[in-house]
Structure 1
Amino acid sequence: MSTQPSPGANALLHRALQHVEDWEQSWGAFDKHPSLGVDPDRLDNVFDEYLERLEGNYPFHHPHYAGQMLKPPHPVACAAYAAAQRINPNNHALDGGPPTSQMETEVVADLAAMLGLPDTALGHLTGGGTVANLEALWVARELRPDQAVAVAENAHYTHGRMSDVLDTEVVPVSADARGRMDLDSLERALEQNGIGTVVLTAGTTGLGVVDPIDEAIPLCEAHGTRVHVDAAYGGFFRLLTEDAAPEIEGFPAERFRAIEDADSVAIDPHKHGLQPYGCGCILFRDPAVGRLYQHDSPYTYFTSDDLHLGEISLECSRPGAAAGALWCTLKALPLAPDDGLGPILTACVQAARTWTEAVEATDALRVVAPPETDIVSYVPATTESSLSAVHEASQALFDTAMNDPDDPIFTSVYQLSADALTSLHPSLTADRDEAAVLRSVLMKPGHETYAESLVERLSTLAMESV
């Protein structure tokens, strides 16, 4: 499929806002209340200060930023969000946002299909992965009130925090050196504890690895245990398991495919779905769990007998703009392995392979573990073989690269346990409990082009610091 250059972000935004303004005027002019006015000089001063302060951000949009999980939203999403935000629909009830509520229903169905869930799956958008996972754990508690939740020790910390909120017991499960759930430890937990639900992770926020979902789900089924997959970070990579997707070395396709057998899945469109923050999603295989949300409201659900999104959500007011932006984005960039979003995801995963190959080609850096998704871990080569030396060298290179006045590169650091590091690199001496390693999150497709040159620059800085 050939493509033409798309309009710039400013042109899309102008078109979107102009259309909404015309729509507003079609309802008839009216006098704005004088209390809404702002003194022009004060407004100029406020905006001057505001815009200047925004310049204090790191350049999240630039390939030189390969630090945390920060991905700029697509211009299509920004323009669509701004247009709906001007109207400010509320997707809690149908009368609060009829068009965006319908859009939400459609994009939730699209996400469920991408993940392999049945077309009867129940779901809705959320404020992010934290709320999506909270709802999954809440449903788990309601379905199995006297049973615990098993979570791998390298799973996102939100599961522990939300379990505290829900007063639900958490049983920790050991992880291997790469950070993936250990199946032997899981089996022992299932045999020795009253486990109602197991949380598996499709893309950890540390090293981007994927739990052995394909092996863990049958194990859970044998013990009559439910499975929730936290695919907040990596869920969109399931697109790359389809036949039309390219084969990528080290990509755990079989584990992503197995998401289709989960009882619930959390996914974050504000990560690899190119959306602004405030867009997560929770999906349930069994639509009957909707009964758990049942509640009565004396003033919200009156325009239609159809299901209102607020009737299947723990959140009340939710931005219709988030649904509108996601709907528009997925129409412009479809959920397909070889079109739309697929090539973007492929470029990110390939960038991690290019980055890894470039690190392996240097004498100044060492790969900690090969990537599974789009996150790479590495350390400076040190003359000493202690964890302390690795820790200090990693921290020093992180600081030097970020603060370089001429050519800064933004990475991040990640603390790995002594057991994990010495298992991955037996030559290291464990003289401390954990050590920092460098971590690059290659979420932008442009990283595929820049990976080699960025590693070359990091290598130069590492050698200069020796």
Structure 2
Amino acid sequence: MVLDEASLALLQTALKRLNKGFNTLPDVEHDLDLEAVENVLLEVAGRMQDNYPYPHPLYAGQMLKPPAPIARLAYMLSLWINPNNHALDGGKASSALEKEAVADLAKMFGWERHLGHLCSGGTVANLEALWVAKNLHPSQKIVASNQAHYTHSRLCRVLGIPFLAVPCNSRAQMDVGELKQLLETEEIGTVVITMGTTATGSVDPLAEILELQKIYGFRLHADAAYGGYFRLVEDLAPETKQAFACLNQVDSIVIDPHKHGLQPYGCGCVLFQDPTVGRFYHHDSPYTYFSSDELHLGEISLECSRPGSSAVALWATQRLFPLVPGGEFARGLNQSCQAAKILFNKLQQDSRFRVVFSPELDIVVWAVYGGTAGQSSRLAQEIFKAAARENLHLALANLPRYLLESQGVVMEWDQDSITCLRSCLMKPEHLAWIEPIWAILDRVTDAVLKDEGGS
């Protein structure tokens, strides 16, 4: 069975308990045409079959991880209430759960004192962090590495903030020497570091950048949308582990529970170490915040209506799987890292491939060895398509020449980039599935190279 059905029985039991909390109210009749609903629902099920098999371990492509059963069930259960976490009037219980869940995330990074909330994802979370940065340094530039997510440069345009890209080193990390040069010549208010880039899973050298902060006094924002949870993993490379250990020293952090946090889309989170930045959110709403003198989450968020169901699901998941080193949740992340190391070793020992980077987290990127950059790219695309025909779903990443030139990927550069194969081994189950994944990759690569040689 690919999709879990057994857990649905638990939902009905929980729904009966939820319903008892409202048994003092008069009954309301629900006029529901069950047959019509069933017909449409079955039609939806048919349409939804036109999808890649995201929950299955043979899907190892993009950053798509199935939510935990507890997250699905808690989210569905809360929909009978459909809370809105903008104000306590619309999401009393779910707002309390959000505050507790966010506090657990902050504690994972070493912050007892913080300001934060959930939002729709990393884009909005980063928007808020950069907006606060602009308020604190209104005339100064923001910088991120040229392998950081494109959202930073785009959001800076939205916010009217000058943005500069910092070149990367050969490991796709922000080059500290290049950053230092920019700090000496430009007015930079905020440096964005990435804890797990989208393309390669690279982690910027935070410890070294913190040393520069002591000299130049810039604000530090950590985009940990993908990699933030790996702070719980103990078996990381020393430099990577050191970077995660320093996260408690940055000014703001973004993390996406809908990536490695086992949550449904969309669930992002923005955290600020200094709670006083909440003053930038101040606004008057005489018709909204009247039921309580407590802080309403809408008073510290740029978004207005937000799904309380996301908070309920996150709280339930963290209740079942606490965010502690050595716990079940952390062990799942460690299994993903182990799977990446095993695949990396197999690729490294195979003359048909060139591994571009040693994986820092659970993302593996590799090129197909070829005479030219164009040939390597074409072979990668053919292997990508051939693997998909055998139900192994990988991803592609187009990487620039300066990151790959020292890797001996090709003999001749006839273009300035190479299309590489990429795998996000996000599921703990991937560790047990590396051999079947490798068997398919090995077989389809042989077939593609044989066709190439015969053409």
Q: 2:92 aligns with which of 98, 111, 123?
A: 98
Q: 1:463 aligns with which of 441, 446, 449?
A: 446
Partner of 1:372: 360
Alpha-carbon displacement from aligned partner over 1:68-91 (angstroms, at most 9, x marks no partner): 000000000000111112201111
1:29 correspondence with 2:27:
yes
Q: 2:102 aligns with which of 91, 103, 108?
A: 108
Corresponding letter in the other structure for 2:158: V
Q: 2:346 aligns with which of 354, 358, 363?
A: 358
Corresponding letter in the other structure for 1:101: S
TM-score relative to the length of structure 1: 0.92
Corresponding letter in the other structure for 1:309: L
Q: CA–CA distance in 2 between the matches of 1:464 and 1:8?
A: 40
Q: Displacement of 1:41 after TM fit?
A: 5.6
Local SS of the residue matching 2:356:
strand
Q: 2:81 aligns with which of 67, 84, 87?
A: 87
1:207 correspondence with 2:200:
yes
Corresponding letter in the other structure for 1:206: A
Partner of 1:429: 412
Q: CA–CA distance in 2 between the matches of 1:344 and 1:426?
A: 33
Alignment check: 8 A CA contact 2:253 2:271 kept: yes
Local SS of the residue matching 1:82:
helix
Partner of 2:63: 69
Q: Displacement of 1:316 after TM fit?
A: 0.7
Alignment check: 8 A CA contact 1:354 1:451 kept: yes
TM-score relative to the length of structure 2: 0.94
Q: What pairs with 1:126-137 in structure 2 (closer than 5 Å)?
A: 126-137=119-130
Q: 1:57 aligns with which of 51, 58, 62?
A: 51
Partner of 2:386: 400
Q: CA–CA distance in 2 between the matches of 1:429 and 1:369?
A: 20
Q: CA–CA distance in 1 between the matches of 2:13 and 2:354?
A: 49
Partner of 2:265: 277
Alignment check: 8 A CA contact 1:229 1:266 kept: yes
Local SS of the residue matching 1:94:
coil
Q: Displacement of 1:355 after TM fit?
A: 1.1
Partner of 2:452: none
Alignment check: 8 A CA contact 2:354 2:409 kept: no
Q: Displacement of 1:425 after TM fit?
A: 2.5
Q: CA–CA distance in 1 between the matches of 2:345 and 2:185?
A: 43
Corresponding letter in the other structure for 2:374: S
Alpha-carbon displacement from aligned partner over 1:226-274 (angstroms, at most 9, x marks no partner): 000000000000112xxxx3x3457710011111110000001111110
Distance 1:323 1:44, change over 3 A: closer
Q: CA–CA distance in 2 between the matches of 1:429 and 1:14?
A: 62
Distance 1:224 1:58, change over 3 A: same
Q: What pairs with 1:411-426 in structure 2 (closer than 5 Å)?
A: 411-425=394-408
Q: Which moved more, 1:299-308 or 1:71-80?
A: 299-308
Partner of 2:393: 410
Alpha-carbon displacement from aligned partner over 1:199-239 (angstroms, at most 9, x marks no partner): 00000001001001111122023111000000000000011
Q: CA–CA distance in 2 between the matches of 1:192 and 1:133?
A: 26
Local SS of the residue matching 1:124:
strand
Alpha-carbon displacement from aligned partner over 1:103-147 (angstroms, at most 9, x marks no partner): 111111111111123x11111111111110000000001111111
Q: 1:175 aligns with which of 168, 180, 184?
A: 168
Q: CA–CA distance in 1 between the matches of 2:401 and 2:13?
A: 55
Partner of 2:377: 391
Q: Displacement of 1:21 after TM fit?
A: 4.0
Alignment check: 8 A CA contact 1:64 1:409 kept: yes
Alignment check: 8 A CA contact 2:121 2:266 kept: yes
Corresponding letter in the other structure for 2:375: A
Corresponding letter in the other structure for 1:294: H
Q: Displacement of 1:445 after TM fit?
A: 0.2
Corresponding letter in the other structure for 2:146: E
Corresponding letter in the other structure for 1:401: A
Alignment check: 8 A CA contact 1:203 1:231 kept: yes
Q: CA–CA distance in 1 between the matches of 2:68 and 2:14?
A: 14
Alignment check: 8 A CA contact 1:332 1:340 kept: no
Q: Displacement of 1:25 after TM fit?
A: 5.0
1:12 correspondence with 2:10:
yes
Partner of 1:3: none
Q: CA–CA distance in 1 between the matches of 2:441 and 2:279?
A: 54
Q: What RMSD, in angstroms, separates the aligned Cα atoms of the two structures?
A: 1.8
Alignment check: 8 A CA contact 1:250 1:372 kept: no
Partner of 1:310: 298
Q: CA–CA distance in 2 between the matches of 1:352 and 1:79?
A: 30
Q: CA–CA distance in 2 between the matches of 1:127 and 1:249?
A: 32
Local SS of the residue matching 2:254:
strand
